[in-house]
Amino acid sequence: MRSISIFGATGSIGESTFDLIRRAGGAEAFRTVALTGARNVRRLAEMARELRAEVAVVAHEEELPALREALAGSGVEAAAGAAAIAEAADRPADWVMSAIVGAAGLVPGMRALRHGATLALANKESLVTAGELLLTTARDHGATILPVDSEHSAVFQALTGEDAGAVERVIITASGGPFRDWPLERLAKATVAEAKAHPNWSMGSRISIDSASMFNKALELIETREYFGFAPDVIEVLVHPQSIVHALVGFRDGGIMAHLGPADMRHAIGFALHWPERGHVPVERLDLAKLGMLQFEAPDDVRFPALRLAREVMAQRGLTGAAFNAAKEIALDHFMEGRIGFLDMAAVVEDTLAVLSSGNSLGKAVSDLEEVLAVDHLARVRAAEQAVKRAKGR
């Protein structure tokens, strides 16, 4: 029986994964090792009971009594805290979903790889923050990383059976989010509620706002560079409002392989769950005649400076990705709490990178995880300072 763990089980990707596991036979077909959440004790306990998990872990320690109570009599162990989440990743499982949001997903993912797991990686922040380290860890421990981001799953699928040396270009698409047509003056006043309202995808709040600011696409550009190893100038972004074509790979003979699918993450999760086979995945089947038309347009780096910043990170690599992601997470916190404006987020990230680059060599090769976590911490401190400055200037 295949063993599985889901980190970030209570989130949007976690719920979709749970749905697929349940449809594929649930506790009768899989041995569930660990399920984790941050605060949503009720849902985590429900899932753990249904899948008869070995352990359920919440990130916030104050939730432990509530989790214990919710699991009473179930035989599922309860634990809490970041260290307990990392320890849960030390319990070997064949297939591990990494779907915690933010850099908090890095350590458990890394620990699962050290046990030789197949890591279904939704947590793009891991690759942005410590891509090279993650891939080396996987290689050294005979583990496998399968991309779950829809664009990267699409590139992975388009490349299957192809010669990577014949690739001329890799194009990841972006819906453009809710602000695709908004002029700069209007973007400056965009609210959190407006930014959360993604036109096509139903996702967690943080990634939805990152989609509106194109920081999500910026992370994905870096993720493409890190995971597939293509040079930055090979990787392009194309705005495609319908979110049907997820990525395209162009080869040196002029042919392009495109991957199409509905805007439902269960496709990419299902692909990773059944890989290397193709299993049945219950997503809507596309009716292209009904769709009639697919639109494409060039992205606008001026209204969405996150894309320009991502290019700088892709060129420098090293610890720059860790600094970029951490600064982005802090800028996002400040925007969600109403302290800075929508456009201030990119300014905070840019200023933080400038402050950290002077005197530090962020582009140097990464030696270990501790170094990455130290830069992540420092970037959070500096980004908070920049955000306070921006808030005062409003």
Q: Fill in the per-residue mask, 144 to 163: x = in contact with ligand NDP (CB under 6 A), - = not in contact.
A: -----x--------------
Tell whether omega for the bond before 276 is within 30 degrees of 0, i.e. cis.
yes
Q: Which stretch binds ligand NDP (CB under 6 A): 5-13, 250-258, 328-336, 382-390?
A: 5-13
CA dist 144 and 272 (Å) reads: 11
CA dist 36 and 93 (Å) reads: 14
Site for ligand NDP contains 174 (CB under 6 A):
no
Quick one: CA torsion of 75, 81, 87, 93, rounded to 10 degrees?
Answer: 60
User: Greatest CA span in the chain, whole angstroms?
Assistant: 62
Q: Which stretch binds ligand NDP (CB under 6 A): 22-30, 33-41, 184-192, 345-353?
A: 33-41
Nearest CA to 309 among 256, 345, 281?
Answer: 345
Do 230 and 215 touch, CB atoms closer than 8 A? no
Query: What minimum distance in Å lies between the beta carbon of 183 and ligand NDP?
Result: 27
Among 204, 260, 262, 336, contact with ligand NDP (rule: CB under 6 A) = 204
Q: Fill in the per-residue mask, 312 to 351: x = in contact with ligand NDP (CB under 6 A), - = not in contact.
A: ----------------------------------------
> With respect to ligand NDP, which residue has the nearer C-beta, 89 or 355?
89
Residues between 63 and 92 that touch ligand NDP (CB under 6 A) = 85
Do 89 and 112 touch, CB atoms closer than 8 A? yes
Site for ligand NDP contains 201 (CB under 6 A):
yes
| Nearest residue to the partner ligand NDP, using Cβ | 11
- Please count the other Cβ atoms lying within 10 Å of the Cβ belonging to residue 134: 25
Site for ligand NDP contains 170 (CB under 6 A):
no
H helical segments located in the chain: 12-23, 41-51, 64-71, 82-89, 106-114, 124-140, 150-159, 184-188, 192-196, 205-213, 215-228, 266-274, 288-291, 306-316, 320-336, 344-357, 369-392
Site for ligand NDP contains 14 (CB under 6 A):
yes
Q: Which stretch binds ligand NDP (CB under 6 A): 35-43, 164-172, 187-195, 377-385?
A: 35-43
- The size of the interface with ligand NDP (CB under 6 A), counted in residues, is 28
Number of helices (H) and strands (E) in the chain: give both, helices first: 17, 11
Site for ligand NDP contains 283 (CB under 6 A):
no
Which pairing describes strands 95-98 and 2-7: parallel, antiparallel, or unpaired? Answer: parallel
Q: Fill in the per-residue mask, 236 to 265: x = in contact with ligand NDP (CB under 6 A), - = not in contact.
A: -----------------------------x
For the record, the structure tokens of 394 come out as 């409003």
Site for ligand NDP contains 195 (CB under 6 A):
no
Q: Which residues bind ligand NDP (CB under 6 A)?
A: 8-14, 37-40, 59, 85, 99-101, 104, 122-125, 149, 201, 203-204, 206-207, 265
